[in-house]
Homo-oligomer: A and B are copies of this chain.
Amino acid sequence: MKKDKQGCDTQTCMVCRLCMKEWLPAVEAGSQHFTYRKGQELFKEGDAVEGIFFIYKGSVKVHKHWDGEKELIIRFAKKGDIVGHRGIGTEAVYPVTATALEQVTVCYFDITFWEASLKVNHQLLYELMLFYARELQESERKMRNLAHMPVKGRIAQALLSLEKKFGRNENGFIDFALSRQDLASYIGATYETTFRMLQEMIQEHLIVMSGKEIAVADETKLLRLCELPANK
Give A contacts to B, CB under 8 Å.
64-67, 70, 72, 74, 85-86, 88-91, 95-96, 118-119, 122, 125-126, 128-130, 132-137, 139-149, 188, 227-229
Contact = CB atoms under 8 A, between A and B. Distances in A.
> What's the dominant secondary structure at chain A's contact region?
helix
Given A86-B133, A118-B129, A139-B140, 10 more contacts: A67-B229, A70-B147, A74-B140, A89-B133, A119-B126, A125-B129, A129-B132, A132-B132, A132-B136, A139-B143
A122 to B, nearest CB: 6
Given A122-B125, A139-B136, A146 B88 contact: no
Contacts of A137: 86, 89-91, 95
Copies per assembly: 2
Contact of A130 (B65, B89, B142): B89
Contacts of A64: 140-141, 144
B141 A143 contact: no
A140 B86 contact: yes
A149 to B, nearest CB: 6
Contacts of A125: 122, 125-126, 129
A90 B136 CA distance: 11
Nearest to A145: B66
26 contacts: A64-B144, A65-B144, A66-B145, A66-B148, A67-B148, A67-B229, A70-B148, A72-B143, A72-B147, A72-B148, A86-B136, A90-B130, A95-B137, A119-B122, A119-B126, A128-B129, A129-B129, A129-B132, A132-B132, A132-B133, A135-B136, A136-B136, A136-B139, A139-B139, A146-B147, A146-B188
